[in-house]
Chain A
Amino acid sequence: MRPEEGTIQSRARAIQALLELIPGDVPVIICNGFPSREAFKLADRPTHFYMMGSMGMAAAIGLGLALAKPTKKVVVLDGDGNVLMGLGTLGTVGALKPKNFIHVVLDNEVYGSSGNQPSYARVVRLDQVAKAAGYAHVERVREREDLVYEFKDLLGKDGPGFLLVKVSEQAEDVGWVPLEPSQITQRFRKAIE
């Protein structure tokens, strides 16, 4: 199934809507490629962890953080290629059920950072996989107003929550994240102490 034309938003617009809703003290793990680069350009915060390599591991990093800081909400901004690569982690999250874990998947059905090669997300329903894995709340949205409503709802609920956001293939003109990785670690740890 392809996203319907006209009702879909770009990933950057979806990220912007999400960052406007995420309180400044809530840590956000952002997957590699365009999602990190777009998020950095839209709003850089010390509570952002920009994952540059280790594709597939954003959810696992977020899960470790959520388990280490059980009283703090943790948001992961992930992509469909990342989730397919680290699919086992949906099982780990579903089994451990961290209440403070919110997994947002920006699904453009392509490997957008490497030339828009099609991903299997166009046939594999990642929201249904998350549901079967044991996430407490699972939603799938396209339009901005649905995204805002469902994400606010997840922020207020016990998780783990999973929000699949269908987005277009459009990418912003953005460069690499110009931060030293070790600096990202240091400022992130300090910001969420």
Chain B
Amino acid sequence: MIESEAFVQALEDIGFDFFTGVPDVLLAGVIETLLTRRLYTQAVREDEAVAMAAGVYLGGRVPAVLMSNAGLGTSLTTLLSLNLLYRQPCLLIVAWRGFEGRDAPEHRSMGQVMTPLLDTVRIPHRTLSDATALDDFNWVAQTFMKEHIPVALLLKPGVVRGIQP
């Protein structure tokens, strides 16, 4: 399991210096670490968060947005008509609720369609795992810098510490 501290440090090392988003229980440990490091600005909706990220990028900083996959649905039109259209990159750190159907009922649908949905809207994505973490972070760094569009790092239950199953 990846410690929240190590997860946040890896992202800071890549250059991410502004974190916003809407909490999910799977992200609780990461957000606690971000709050301790005074790096996290709470948003009230995920579309607001990705729009804030666009503004942060316009201001010359490097944004990451934390959200559940339900929030991916909320933010879809903003991602399409703002972040993707204007080529404003941000890292989407997305909690994979409804993973393999083992979650509360409200997460089942999005848990099933999330990765095809990301493929459809052409947001590159990768699922973080303990064994491949170094590669995963390298992929984030390279894809982010090269494509100038949002990229998604998907977090399954139990991969980062502080995340409850």
**A interface list, Cβ under 8 A from B:** 27, 29, 49, 51-54, 56-57, 60-69, 86, 88-89, 91-92, 95-96, 181-182, 184-185, 188-189, 192-193
Contacts and interface: CB of A to CB of B under 8 A. Distances in A.
A25 B58 CA distance: 14
A88 B87 contact: no
Contact of B82 (A53, A62, A188, A193): A53
B96 to A, nearest CB: 25
Nearest to B88: A185
Contact of B77 (A54, A65, A68, A184): A54
B78 interface: yes
Given A54-B77, A182-B87, A86 B82 contact: no
Nearest to A193: B60
A182 B84 CA distance: 9
Contact of A29 (B45, B53, B55, B60): B55
A129 to B, nearest CB: 14
Contacts, number: 107
Contacts of B41: 67, 96
Contacts of B18: 64, 67-68
Tier of interface size on chain B: 20 to 34
Interface of B: 18, 20, 41-45, 47-49, 51-61, 63, 77-78, 80-82, 85-88, 148
B77 A69 contact: no
Given A181-B86, A182-B86, A185-B87, A57 B58 contact: no
Contacts of A49: 58
Given A89-B44, A89-B48, A64 B86 contact: no
B51 A53 contact: no
Contacts of B82: 51, 53-54, 57, 61
B80 A64 contact: no
A63 B20 CA distance: 12
B47 A57 contact: yes
A66 to B, nearest CB: 7
Contacts of B20: 64
B123 to A, nearest CB: 15
A174 to B, nearest CB: 20
B88 to A, nearest CB: 6
9 contacts: A54-B51, A60-B43, A60-B47, A60-B55, A64-B57, A67-B18, A86-B48, A89-B48, A185-B58
B157 to A, nearest CB: 28
Nearest to A65: B55
Nearest to A96: B41
Given A64-B18, A92-B43, A185-B58, 15 more contacts: A29-B55, A53-B82, A57-B48, A60-B55, A63-B52, A63-B55, A64-B20, A65-B56, A66-B55, A67-B55, A88-B45, A89-B44, A188-B58, A189-B60, A192-B60
B87 A181 contact: yes
B69 to A, nearest CB: 20
Contact of B53 (A62, A64, A91, A193): A64
Contacts of A51: 82
A29 B57 CA distance: 14
Contacts of B87: 181-182, 185
Nearest to B90: A64
Contacts of A192: 58-60
